[in-house]
Amino acid sequence: MRDWMGRDLHYLRVSLTERCNLKCIYCREENAHCKAKKELSLEEFTRLMQVFVALGVTKVRLTGGEPLVRRDLEQIVRMTAGFPQIRDISMTTNAQGLADRLPALHAAGLRRINISLDSLDPARYRRMTRGGDLSEVYKGMEAAARENMPVKLNVVLVRGENDQEIDRFIALARAYPIDVRFIELMPFSALGTRDDRRVPGQEILERHPELHPVAPHDVSQPSQDYQADGFAGRVGLINPISHKFCADCNRIRLTSDGKLRMCLGDDHETDLRPWMNDRRLAQVIRDAVYHKPEGHCFAHSYHAARTMNQIGG
Ligand code: SAM
């Protein structure tokens, strides 16, 4: 599928649920409630996936909320992997309860995982996630190593919370073949709108002049990658605010309540549910995709109508 700018959009990020077993401080508010009732069923995801694949989607990432709270996650992975056109299935997860389920997910067709990990200190991790257990993350990483599955770590930096751990995270990428990606805080939830709490990627490079740019694994990946001598892994900077990468975007998003969203940082959505049993479904998707916005609205005092867990991070 191509949009009006000629961008080739073949990467679908599917949010399976708004629900999450954690409440990260920058993702949603402490007292927020999530509605499971509106979630697409396995059958509805299957119907939509058939159409997306027919339209040219070849790469799928499962996200949420937390994908692991869906009991039918293994079935959703197997269904997605059943399309020979899908060449890559990955998942973004907080890894709470991942270890036990990873062998079955791998067998079902999951190929790669991104684990969100904002602190290597158990107490800070618990505080930033409002209840998370750091040992679960380590168990999940060990399970991935046993399964020989590539892992990337996603670290959202929040000034005054975890920015003092930047060096520790970089040391991880030096010692292990793991990509550690620092993500700039984006304006979702009250904390996300605080410019004073954002750590621009450039600041990390100034503190670590030994890091030099390396070629990306994939030209459309959101991170700019860096290494230094002796590094087993990479340091990635995802700088949506300070370094917009919309011109190379190849992504579209499906929310767990059936909305097609063309951009994380633009609230325009198309509700696909009314079209689910209509033969014009493919045309509705194609039209929406064609009108993908040129770029996100983060620079324009944007405050998202929905929180990250509702959209799918
Ligand atoms: N529950 C899964 C997880 O924790 O990875 C998947 C969903 S989570 C919403 C996806 C990613 O969005 C996580 O890496 C999270 O850190 C990131 N995220 C959430 N809110 C954010 C914000 N305000 N700014 C930047 N990243 C954010």
- Beta strand 88-93 with 224-227 is unpaired
Whose C-alpha lies nearest to ligand 1, atom 8? 313
Q: What is the pLDDT of residue 36?
A: 66
pLDDT tier for residue 172 given thresholds of 50, 70 and 90: very high
- 82-131 pLDDT tens trace: 999 999 999 999 999 999 999 999 999 999 999 999 999 999 999 999 99
Whose C-alpha lies nearest to ligand 1, atom 2? 93
Q: What is the pLDDT of residue 244?
A: 77
Residue 48 pLDDT > 90: yes
Residue 245 pLDDT > 90: no
- 289-301 pLDDT tens trace: 999 998 887 776 6
Q: What is the pLDDT of residue 13?
A: 98
Q: What is the mean pLDDT of the chain?
A: 94
Whose C-alpha lies nearest to ligand 1, atom 11? 313
Out of 16, 29, 92, mutate this one to test ligand 1's pocket (max ligand atoms within 8 Å of CB): namely 92
Q: What is the DSSP track for 104-144?
A: HHHHHT--EEEEE---SSHHHHHHHHTS--HHHHHHHHHHH
Which has the higher per-residue pLDDT, 193 or 220?
193
**For residue 64, which of 116, 120, 17 has the smallest C-alpha distance?**
17
188 lines ligand 1 (CB under 6 A): yes
E strands, the chain, where? 11-15, 59-63, 88-93, 112-116, 151-156, 179-183, 212-214, 224-227, 234-238, 251-254, 259-261, 269-271
Q: What is the pLDDT of residue 300?
A: 67
27 lines ligand 1 (CB under 6 A): yes
Q: What is the pLDDT of residue 68?
A: 98
Mean pLDDT calculated for residue range 160-169: 97
Q: Which CA distances in Å does 141 have to 14, 157, 187, 195, 283?
A: 23, 21, 29, 32, 41
Residues 6+ apart with CB under 8 A from 305: 267
